[in-house]
Amino acid sequence: LKTTPACTRDGTAIELHANIELPSDLADVYENGATGIGLFRSEFLFLNRDILPDEEEQFVAYRKVAEGMKGLPVTIRTFDLGADKQLNGVQRVASNPALGLRAIRLCLVEPQLFFTQLRALLRASHYGNVKILIPMLSGMSEINQTLQFITNAKQSLDDEGIPYNREIKIGGMIEIPAAALMMDVFIGKLDFLSIGTNDLIQYTLAIDRTDEEVAHLYDPLHPAVLYLLAHIIGKANDAGVPISVCGEMAGHDEYTRLLLGLGLRQFSMNSAQLLCVKQRVLTTNLPGIVTLMQKILRANDPLEIRDLMNKLNAV
């Protein structure tokens, strides 16, 4: 199973990538046969320490992963700090941190921190197939500011004669409903997209998934969530822009056929989940699930959707 290519019964090739937190996770990536890294959560390099990693330390970590994947794609997300993951000594008081200064918002108000990371990422791109992923973008202004930062970082490396991949791909996370509704802007500005289902569901349903009193309402199969996913994936596919899911939905095999039916062809998940998802991919015949998928997308009753999902996974 590990070495078998991920391909549906009707011959559609599927990319199964791994999510990692630190370079030490590479062993699990190899063990489970991932064909790339779809999400390197770089913020874990910054946590549980008194001194922030400088450019050289970050470069070494990113380079190790890039070289270790031997030409396979490595998508590194710029640090997503400020919500449930705080820097030591930089605690901010916020009534709802998930809606506060986090991810790209924090990067843009901490320009030196962001610039340092971008230089390290660009330097590492010389040693492998590195892509840069920007979290929590909501619109054109943040995209333009981010792209300008990257341009400035490239210029600084040019001035010093430091090599990097001049054609490096820049992508954005779709995890805010505003981003989903502005897909045309994202498609026009970025090279690839990745859906963060954890936050997309949380923000769409206005549910704090860490709050025990409402966590039971967090539902990946809510009709509004399914509508958004169909819209996002459909828009990207129509435009020929690569799109993946790197949130928890990608790693649960009960959702594999649903996502395949929506048009998804690239998944990224915890390495330990790869083989279960691959097994579901190998047993899926895409033409055979079209009718059920149409019924699921038309359904509004949660019980009906659950029943249809059971039938989808029983095919």
- How large is the average pLDDT for residues 193-217? 94
Pick the residue with more confidence: 62 or 89? 62
Share of the chain above pLDDT 70, in %: 96
Distance of CA 265 to the CA centre of its chain: 14
SS3 of the chain: the string is CCCCCCECCCCCECEEEEEECCHHHHHHHHHCCCCCEEEEEHHHHCCCCCCCCCHHHHHHHHHHHHHHCCCCEEEEECCCCCCCCCCCCCCCCCCCHHHCCCHHHHHHHCHHHHHHHHHHHHHHHHHCEEEEEECCCCCHHHHHHHHHHHHHHHHHHHHHCCCCCCCCEEEEEECCHHHHHCHHHHHHHCCEEEECHHHHHHHHHCCCCCCCCCHHHCCCCCHHHHHHHHHHHHHHHHHCCCEEECCHHHHCHHHHHHHHHCCCCEEEEEHHHHHHHHHHHHCCCHHHHHHHHHHHHHCCCHHHHHHHHHHHHHC
pLDDT digits (tens, 9 = 90+) for 218-239: 999 999 999 999 999 999 999 9
Q: Which pLDDT does position 56 carry in this prediction?
A: 98
How does residue 165 score in pLDDT terms, banded at 50, 70 and 90?
very high
How does residue 97 score in pLDDT terms, banded at 50, 70 and 90?
confident
Place of tokens 């990536």: 29
Q: Which pLDDT does position 209 carry in this prediction?
A: 86
- Judged against a pLDDT cut of 90, whether residue 89 lies above it is answered with no
Give the integer Cα–Cα distance in Å for 10 and 309. Answer: 20
- Judged against a pLDDT cut of 90, whether residue 128 lies above it is answered with yes
pLDDT digits (tens, 9 = 90+) for 262-303: 999 999 999 999 999 999 999 999 999 999 999 999 999 999
Give the integer Cα–Cα distance in Å for 315 and 306. Answer: 15
Pick the residue with more confidence: 78 or 96? 78
pLDDT digits (tens, 9 = 90+) for 149-158: 999 999 999 9
- How large is the average pLDDT for residues 159-172? 98
Give the integer Cα–Cα distance in Å for 17 and 306. Answer: 27
Q: Which pLDDT does position 82 carry in this prediction?
A: 82
pLDDT digits (tens, 9 = 90+) for 166-202: 999 999 999 999 999 999 999 999 999 999 999 999 9
Share of the chain above pLDDT 90, in %: 91
Q: Provide the 3-class DSSP secondary structure of residue 262.
A: coil
Q: Provide the 3-class DSSP secondary structure of residue 286.
A: helix
Mean of the per-residue pLDDT values for the chain?
95
Q: Which pLDDT does position 210 carry in this prediction?
A: 85
- Judged against a pLDDT cut of 90, whether residue 93 lies above it is answered with no
Q: Which pLDDT does position 132 carry in this prediction?
A: 98
Give the integer Cα–Cα distance in Å for 156 and 111. Answer: 14
Q: Which pLDDT does position 153 carry in this prediction?
A: 98
Q: Is the pTM of this model over 0.75?
A: yes
Q: Which pLDDT does position 96 carry in this prediction?
A: 78
CB neighbours of residue 1 within 10 Å: 12
- How large is the average pLDDT for residues 22-28? 97
